A and B are shown apart, each in its own frame.
Chain A
Amino acid sequence: MRNNNMIKRRTWLRNIFFPPLIATMLTTNINATEQSIEQTINVDISPLTQLPVLQKKNLESAVVEQIESQNKKINQQLVEFMQNKTKLAQQYELMGQLYHAYELYEPAKISYQNALQLEPGRFTSQYLLALVFRSSEMPNEAVESFVQAQRINAAYPALWINLGETLEQLSRYDKSKIAFQKAQELTPNEPSIFAGIGKLLLSEKKYKQSIQFFEQALKLVPQADRLHYSIAMAYRGLGDEIKAREHLKLSGKIGIKPHDPIRENLEQLLAGERVQLLQGKNEFAMGKYQESINSFQEALAAAPDSVRARINLSAALTKLNKIADAQEHLEKAIELAPENATAHFNLAKLLQHQKKYSGALKHFESAAKISPTDAGILFELANIQQYTGKIDEALRNFEKINKISPENTVAQAGYANLLFHKKQYQKAIEILEQVNKAHPTDGLIAHDLARALVTVPQQGLRDGTKALQLAKVVMSAQPTLEHADTLIRAYVETGSCQNASTLVEQVLNSIDPSDPKLPKLKQNYERLLRNMPGGKACN
């Protein structure tokens, strides 16, 4: 493996002590596993700055592919560099926009600066550089860049609005006002200009004038209900509490954004369906399932073959119980990408939910074949195998899980229960005891062990005292019917007749009298209490 730091250090020294006869590539180093894509070309590109190494880890492959593709374009352009600076500048600008769109501001800044180094008159690069500075909380640098940009093109209104807002942030109110006025000369009816000037006047305590400007903005965009807050504060300043409170009641969350085609274009650069996918995922995370469905559907419209969009859409549809639609999208996803384990897994879960076990089994098997070391998939597969009577297969899968993920106590419990079912009692109890020792606070294991110790048919393996101890702890932490049942059995096993009877009574009283299972349960407990150790019966 090459030591990239060493290479870079050498390059740096070489550039200091030798004229730049040879320079390393100035494009992004895609660095995932310390591999670096570096090439050597024979051109003097010393005024440009090398883009920082992109940490590929955890970035989606579509994003990385997109950046790599742009990287390649720059590489190609570098070769033609001596002939055509403009084309190279264009590519750097595009690279900057790409990074900018993904909010990776540092490489975006360098890309724009490289574009401007090659072609100082590029308005878009200069303007977007200013916006990057603004987003990077560097307002002074942003102002400088906005000023440079207006020297190239003073007829772009959003530039003046952004400049005005940045100057206001810097408390340079007079200059801010001038910037807003310039914007207004270009677009007299832009609501964000009225709002901006209104805000300036409010900070100068010119309440009456500020209200006029806010009202004008509101007239143009009535849905911008956040403006009511500013109006309320102006009325409060005037001492008119009634009007202030009236407007506070109307204030909401919708603000105003200036019309800015250059900025809006950044959104288009996000990889294919990425914008909607990202939005959908965040909406899904917030529990806004219908909104997330809309976003995933938009993603699908942008990229009909997007497997990710279909998988996500089906998850959102499932949340709203639209099972048939969800299933359809997963089937289509599998059609598009038969090797996608997630699609198989999700479809299997969906079929399992519908009690279509054979179909579910088939897709769990497919998922496990594609991802043979995924403990989550194997666990679900083992469970359904157990449910459908494929005990040996299930046992094999539990064994696999235990090797892959030895800390998975749920799988260990499943394995032990299955062994118990296969009458391998001793081994099952041994496993449960080992896991219980390693995870003494795990209630599931503690319960399974207690249950095994009082239900194992081989008397020699029974341990009522230990079971009682475990069952008591589990019951106090989580008083369920199942846990109570185990505790009753432990009482019976240890001869605690009175405790067993009391708990039986409590359990039976807690069950709805109309429950059809009640008589059978009563019968079972009566039988249990008649068979105390030593042949005694409890009364």
Chain B
Amino acid sequence: MQLSSIPIKIIIVLILSYNINTLLVFAAEKRETTPPIFEDITSSSGINFVHFNGMTGEYYFPEMTGSGGALFDYDNDGDLDLYLVQGNLLGKKDSIKQAMFPIQGTPRDRLFRNNLISGSKQQSSVSFTDITEQSGLNIQDYGMGVATGDYNNDGWIDLLITNYGKNRLLKNNGDGTFTDESLVLEKNDNRWSTSATFFDFDKDGYLDIYIANYVEYDVNNKKDCYARSSRQDYCGPAAFIPQVDTLYHNQGNGTFKDVTQSLLRDYKAGPGLGVVTADFNGDGWIDIYVANDGAANQLWLNRKGKFFEDDALFSGTSVNSDGKAEASMGIDAADFDNDGDTDLFMTHLMGETNTLYRNDGSGIFEDITQDAGLGLSSLPYTAFGTAWLDFDNDAFLDLIILNGAVATLEHQLKAGENYPLKQPNQIFKNIDGKRFQEIDDNRVLALKQQNVSRGAAFGDIDNDGDMDFVIFNNNGPVKILLNNVGQKNSWIGFRLTDKLLKRDSHGAQVELKFKNKNSMWRRVRTDGSYCSANDPRVLIGLHKARDIESIYIHWPDGSTQEVKQFSYNNYQTIQKLK
């Protein structure tokens, strides 16, 4: 049946009038809008990296789980460089062309140097240079994540790359190149590793390593799983045997010994995806928290460096309030309520809320997700990477959450989406240390773009005193988001190093004491998020105030040092005195 000419004219008139009205409304809104909090500078930054997951329609489990990356200063020039972890082909495929989403060139990890001029603040445009070739790196594994730390105390940050397959330890030679020292890792076998962290659990001055391993998965002997609708879909971790994580002790002679079974008491393997280290019970020893996917999480309390005991169940951080294990993915630890202890936030599967655990200071946690306003908003999404960061430097740590489904989203499939796992990311503003409010307007459009986000690395990329970050999208482009607002408030930043050890002092804490007798604690860490490594510097937002009375550094060995001279809106390097 043909439309008559009269209705067509009506349609045109209606469409025109609608557009004019829309434009008027848009113009009015534009006048009132505030500038974006984060600006996507990827296209102008020189980063042209697209994650390749190698998918060929076989629903191989690893293909939708990666990956991450690291922000770290590989050349000690005072700015954050970027390491990007790449996937590869899986199974018996030989050519990139056989993948559903082929990329140009050979898939391999990449290293980008930040072009900020040394000592400068806020260069007008942030840019990076691809230095993969000249660094001697040619990593073509099926990569998952990366951890950063100077394991040999030579003053240069090294890398641990976690893979579906053997992991790699890349020693930074200090001359812009890296050497593969993977052989120093005992029992470095073909497991599926995800997140990892460098930390010194026995206070011997050398950084040890914890690696979260996922499940036993063989692409050549894969299992097929189905949604209830009978459509083939990705399997969940329950279909596989969980793999044993790895706790490595740094022997101090350049080698690492696997001490998992000997030091983790009554160890039971879980499908590990996230790991974070901090002193959760305030006894002066760094503990380990492991987020497991669909199995009980573990809180390994450090017993004076001699062994660890899992007290997650009693601490209230193992399962949800119904006693049910949830699908924990990403994780971060920080003092969100400024009460002097380290709290936990972890991300979960669709249909499960993300969880905020408040620490009472003794390692006993309370799930306050609902009361904090973080429950409902997380139900529709599967979240991975996450971080506590004070995006507006108002002295309260806000939350960034990276989302992306792990099973086919029917509505996207119906709409013709060829990778139907895409979801928007989220940012929550910490109102008063008790409640959070999602920011869901034009100011965060760059963050809300729908992708299959996994890892994210956080740090001050342009050294302007606020937290920027990099999002690592599975089967998608990496995104660099620069913070436009944080530097408008006061802040103070530190790099805490140990002169003797020549490296960042992982686990050291900064205590700010204010004239009103309040205090704030922040710690040096590179871990957290998912499969990623963060800026080791400590950046503390102060809102409008400049009323710090004193500053103390609590070093991992238990000693305390007062910082007598400090300046606002600056980074300063504090070296441990002895």
Residues of A within 8 A of B (CB): 10, 13-14, 17, 52-53, 55, 58-60, 62-63, 101-106, 135, 137, 139, 169-171, 199, 202-203, 226-230, 232-233, 236, 241, 244-245, 248, 251, 253, 255, 274, 278, 281-282, 284-287, 407, 409, 438-439, 442
Q: Does B414 contact A (CB under 8 A)?
A: yes
Contact A281 B414, beta carbon cutoff 8 Å: no
Query: 1/0 contact trace for B371-414 toward A, CB 8 Å?
Result: 10001100110000000000000000000000000000011011
Q: Quick one: given A226-B323, A229-B323, are A282 and B316 in contact (CB under 8 Å)?
A: no
Contacts of A60 in B (CB 8 A): 230
Q: Inside 8 A of B323's CB, which chain A residues have their CB? A: 226-230, 251, 255
Q: How far is the CB of A248 from chain B (nearest CB, A)?
A: 5
A63 touches B229 (CB 8 A): yes
Instruction: Name the residue of chain A whose CB is nearest to the CB of B371.
Output: A171
A-B contact sample (18 more), CB < 8 A, given A58-B231, A253-B325: A58-B230, A58-B232, A60-B230, A63-B229, A103-B227, A169-B376, A228-B323, A229-B319, A229-B322, A232-B313, A241-B314, A244-B314, A255-B323, A278-B226, A281-B225, A282-B225, A286-B239, A407-B98
| Residue ID in chain B nearest A104 by CB atoms | B229
- B residues near A, CB below 8 A? 1, 3, 7, 10-11, 93-95, 98, 223-232, 235, 238-241, 313-314, 316, 319, 321-325, 350-351, 364, 370-371, 375-376, 379-380, 410-411, 413-414
Partner of B322, one of A230, A281, A282: A230
26 residue pairs bridging A and B, Cβ less than 8 Å apart: A17-B10, A53-B414, A59-B229, A59-B230, A59-B231, A62-B230, A63-B229, A103-B229, A104-B229, A106-B410, A137-B380, A199-B322, A229-B313, A229-B323, A230-B323, A236-B364, A248-B313, A248-B314, A253-B325, A274-B230, A285-B223, A285-B224, A285-B235, A286-B238, A407-B94, A442-B94
| Contact yes or no, B3 A236, CB < 8 A | no
The answer to whether A106 and B229 have CB atoms under 8 Å apart is no
Check A233 against B376 for contact (C-beta < 8 Å): no
* Residues of chain B lying within 8 A (CB to CB) of residue A438: 94
A244 to chain B, nearest CB (A): 7
Q: In the complex the two chains form, what is the Cα distance from A407 to B364 in whole Å?
A: 57
Among B226, B235, B313, B351, the residue within 8 A (CB) of A137 is: B351
Complex Cα distance, B414 from A105, in Å, reads: 13
A63, A169, A439: which contacts B94 (Cβ < 8 A)? A439
Q: Which of A17, A105, A278 contacts B410 (CB 8 A)?
A: A105
Smallest Cβ-Cβ distance to B6: which chain A residue: A17
Select B324's contact among A101, A226, A245, A278, beta carbons within 8 Å: A226
Q: Which of A10, A103, A286 contacts B228 (CB 8 A)?
A: A103
| CB within 8 Å for A104 and B321 given contacts A14-B1, A14-B3 | no
**Which B residues touch A139, using CB under 8 A?**
376, 379
Interface contact B3-A13, CB-CB below 8 Å = yes
Q: Which residue of A is nearest B228, CB measured?
A: A103
CB nearest neighbor in A for B319? A229
For B410, the chain A residues whose CB sits under 8 A away are: 104-106
Task: Report A-chain residues with C-beta under 8 Å of the C-beta of B7.
Answer: 13, 17
Contact B413 A55 (CB under 8 A): yes
Expressed in whole angstroms, the Cα–Cα distance for A377 and B228 within the complex equals 29
B398 to chain A, nearest CB (A): 21
* B203 shortest CB reach to chain A, Å: 28
Please give me the residue from chain A that is nearest to B315 by CB atom. Answer: A236
| Known interface pairs A17-B10, A58-B232, A229-B323; A137-B379 also in contact (CB < 8 Å) | yes
Closest 5 CB pairs of A and B: A229-B323, A137-B379, A285-B223, A60-B230, A17-B7
Smallest beta-carbon distance B150→chain A, Å: 33
Please give me the residue from chain B that is nearest to A274 by CB atom.
B230
- If the complex has contacts A17-B10, A59-B230, are A170 and B376 also in contact, measured as CB distance less than 8 A? yes
Closest CB-CB distance, B333 to chain A, in whole Å?
Answer: 21
Set of chain B residues within 8 Å of A10, measured between Cβ atoms? 1, 3
Question: In the complex, A272→B238 CA distance in Å?
Answer: 26
Question: Using Cβ atoms and an 8 Å threshold, which residues of chain A touch B235?
Answer: 285
Q: Verify B375–A169 contact, CB threshold 8 A.
A: yes
Residues of B within 8 A of A62 (CB): 230
Q: What residues on B are CB-neighbors of A55 within 8 Å?
A: 413-414
Q: Output the least CB separation between B477 and chain A (Å).
A: 27
Minimal Cβ-Cβ distance residue in A for B95 = A407
Contact between chains at B230 and A102 (CB < 8 Å):
yes
> Are B316 and A233 within 8 A (Cβ)?
yes
CB proximity of A378 to chain B, nearest CB, Å: 16
Q: Which residues of B contact A135 (CB under 8 A)?
A: 351
Roughly how many angstroms separate A53 CA and B414 CA in the complex, as a whole number?
7
Q: Among B228, B239, B322, which residue has its beta carbon within 8 angstroms of that of A102?
A: B228
Q: Is the CB of B314 within 8 A of A236?
A: yes
A226-B322, A230-B322, A407-B94 given as contacts; is B229 within 8 A of A171 (CB)? no
Q: How far is the CA of A53 from the CA of B411 in the complex (A)?
A: 10
A52 to B227 CA separation, bound complex (whole angstroms) = 19
Give A58 to B233 CA distance when docked, in angstroms: 10
Residue of chain A at shortest CB distance from B11: A13
* CA–CA, A268 and B11, complex, Å: 48
Interchain CB contact under 8 A, A63 and B230: yes
> Contact: B321 with A230, CB < 8 Å?
yes
User: Which single residue of chain A is at the shortest CB-CB distance from B238?
Assistant: A286
Most-contacted residue by chain A among B11, B95, B235, B322 (CB, 10 A) = B322
Q: How far is the CA of A438 from the CA of B380 in the complex (A)?
A: 46
> How distant is the Cα of A439 from the Cα of B375 in the complex, in angstroms?
51
